[in-house]
Amino acid sequence: MTMRALSCSHIVMEGERAETVAQAEQETAETVETVETVETVETTETVDTVDTAETAETAGTTGTKGTQKTDPEEDSPNMIVYRKIENIITRMQDETDGVPIRTVKSFMSKIPSVATGTEIVQWLMKNLYIDDPAEALHIGSLIAAQGYVFPISDHVLTLKDDGTFYRFQAPYFWSSNCWEPENTDYDQPGMLCSFKISTAWSCAWCLNPQADKTFSTGLSRSVIVTDAVTGRRQTYSTGSDVLAQQFAVRAPVLFNGCRSGEIFSIDLRQRGRGRDHSWKSSRFHQDSAVTSVRLLQDENYLLAADMLGKIKLWDVRTRRAVKQYDGHNNEYAHLPLHLCEQEGLLLAVGQDCYTRLWSLRDGHLLRTIPSPHPAGKDSIPNIVFSSQLGGRRGLPGLLMAVCHDLYYYPYGDYQGGAASELQG
C-alpha cells in the first residue's frame, strides 16, 4: 500500500517536470503526446490508489483484516443518488456554513440539534443556487423521504417550509450504509446476535419449522431475509419500500406490502432472486401504499390496509379482493391492523384517532370509539384486543393507550359505550 502511494507520487513529480520541460524547450508534438500519456497513467493510478485507500479504510472500520468486501450494488443508480444526497447532508451539517441548529424544549425534555423546515429550504436555495423555493422544497422532501432528515413531532417523512422542527439522521442509519451481520457480540445477557440495519420500515419473524431461525427486514426497495444464527442472508430487490410484512406459519412464505401498493409473497424454499422478479408470487395491488398486512388462520386470506383508508380482504389463491371494510381513516400514517378471529373482529385506529371495529365475516362496522384525548398527530391511540384479557378465565376486552393513560373497554359494553380508565 505504501509502495504504491510512493510510486504514484513519483509519477506525479515526473509528470510535472515533463510539463515544465515541454513549456521551456517547446518540444515536438510527439513529446507532448508522451507527456499526455504519462498524465493519463498518473491520473489512473492516482484514482486506483484513492480507491484502494478508501477500501482499506472501510475494511478497518468494519473490523475486517486482510479481506476487502465489495457491494455489487455500489454502482447502482440508487446508490449513486444516495451518495449525492449524503454529500449535501454533510455540507448541511457543517459547523461553519451548515444549517443553523439549536436546542428546543419539548414538554419536560430538551431536544438538541434541531432546525426548522424554513431554514433547511433557505440553505438549499443559497448553497445549491436555486431560485425557486418550490424546487428547493421538492429537493428537501426527497431528502426527508429517504430518512436523512426527520420531523421530531410528525409521522410523515416530508419537508415543510414552516417552523416545524427537524433533526438530521445519524450517518449510521444512512441508506447507503449496507448492514452486515455481527454475530460476535454475545457479551450482553440473553443476546443471541446483533445486526446493523440501514433504514428499516418493517420486520417479521418466521415460525415455520423449516425456517424458524429466520427473520426478515423490509427496507427501502428491498427485502433481506436473515438466518439469526449463521448470519447468512438473502436480498430481494423489490423496486419499492416494504412497509409491512408477515410470515405464514404453515409454510415458509413471507407476505410483503409496499409503498407502491403492491402485495406479494416470497417462498423461502425457492432460491431464485433475479431482477426479473420471477420469485414473486401471489401478486396483487391496493390503490395506495400498504401500511399493514395480516394473514387469517387458514392462510388462504390476507387483510391489507393502505394510505387511502381502504381495508380489503384478499383471497391469496385467486388474487382477488373478496371483501372491503369501509370507514377507516388514513391519508399518510403507518397504521396497523388488529385481528381477533376468535371473536370475529377486525380493529384499526384511524388517523382521526377513532378506533373502529368491524365484523370480520360480513364487513359491517360494529362500533366507533373516539379517543378520550384530543385528536392529534402525536396522540394516535395504540390498542390491543384480547378474547381472554387477563388470563384463561379473563373476558374479552380492549386496552387503549393514549398519551400517559390506559383505558379498558369491556367487550360487553361496546353497545353501551362505557369505558373504565386504568391509572397509568
Distance (Å, whole) CA 320 – CA 316: 7
Residues 23 and 98 placed together within one structural domain of the fold: no
Whether residue 307 lies inside any domain: the answer is: yes
pLDDT level of residue 178 (50, 70, 90 thresholds): very low
* Statement to judge: residues 248 and 311 lie in one domain: yes
Residue 106 is predicted with a pLDDT of 63
218 — pLDDT class (breaks 50, 70, 90): very high
Q: What is the pLDDT of residue 275?
A: 59
Residues 321 and 201 in one domain: yes
Q: Which residues contact 23 (CB under 8 A, 6 or more apart)?
A: none
Same-domain pairing of 205 and 292: yes
Question: Which comes out higher in pLDDT, residue 81 or 422?
Answer: 81
Q: Name the residue with cell 420469485.
A: 279
Decide if 161 is inside a domain. yes
Looking at the fold, whether 81 and 169 belong to one and the same domain comes out as: yes
Position 109 scores a pLDDT of: 60
- Kindly state whether residue 331 falls inside one of the protein's structural domains: no
Phi and psi at residue 333, to the nearest 5°: -85, 155
Q: What percent of the chain has pLDDT over 90?
A: 42
In a domain, 69, yes or no: no
Q: What is the mean pLDDT of the chain?
A: 77
In this model, does residue 276 exceed pLDDT 80?
no
Q: Are 292 and 300 in contact (CB under 8 A)?
A: no
Q: What are phi and psi of 60, to 5 degrees?
A: -65, -35
**Residue 365: is its pLDDT beyond 90?**
yes
Sheet with 242-247, edge to edge strand ranges: 242-247, 253-258, 262-267, 280-285
- The CA distance from 179 to 177, in Å, is 6
Do residue 232 and residue 310 come from a single domain?
Answer: yes
Check whether residue 123 and residue 200 sit in a common domain. Answer: no
Report how many domains make up the chain: 4
In a domain, 183, yes or no: no
Most confident of 74-83, 176-185, 351-360, 411-420: 351-360
Mean pLDDT of 368-381: 92
- Co-location of 306 and 229 in the same domain: yes
Same domain as 297, residue 341 = no
- Clarify whether residues 19 and 132 are in a common domain: no
Three-class secondary structure of residue 244 per DSSP: strand
CATH number for the domain harbouring residue 84: 1.10.10.10
Q: Is residue 189 part of a domain?
A: no
Which pLDDT value is given to residue 244? Answer: 97
Provide the pLDDT for residue 182.
Answer: 44
* 180 is a domain residue: no
Distance (Å, whole) CA 200 – CA 178: 11
| The three cell numbers locating residue 231 | 448470519
Write phi, then psi, for 166 (nearest 5 degrees): -130, 155
147 pLDDT above the threshold of 60: yes
Handedness of CA 77, 79, 83, 85 (dihedral sign): positive
Residues 369 and 408 in one domain: yes
Domain span at residue 408 reads: 337-424
pLDDT score, position 225: 92
C-alpha to C-alpha distance for 349 and 267, rounded to whole angstroms: 31
Q: Judge whether 71 lies within some domain.
A: no
- pLDDT value at 96 more than 80: yes
Tell me: do 273 and 217 sit in the same domain. yes
- Give the domain-ending residue among 298, 325, 352: 325
Which pLDDT value is given to residue 81? 81
What confidence score (pLDDT) does residue 412 get? 64
The domain spanning residue 203 has which CATH number? 2.130.10.10
Please state, in angstroms and as integers, the Cα–Cα distance from residue 417 to each residue in 68, 346, 353, 413, following that order. Answer: 64, 18, 16, 6
Most confident of 14-18, 82-86, 415-419: 82-86
* Least reliable range by pLDDT among 108-122, 151-165, 270-284, 370-384: 270-284
- Tell me how far apart the alpha carbons of residues 383 and 363 are, in angstroms, rounded to a whole number: 20
Instruction: Return the pLDDT at 44.
Output: 44
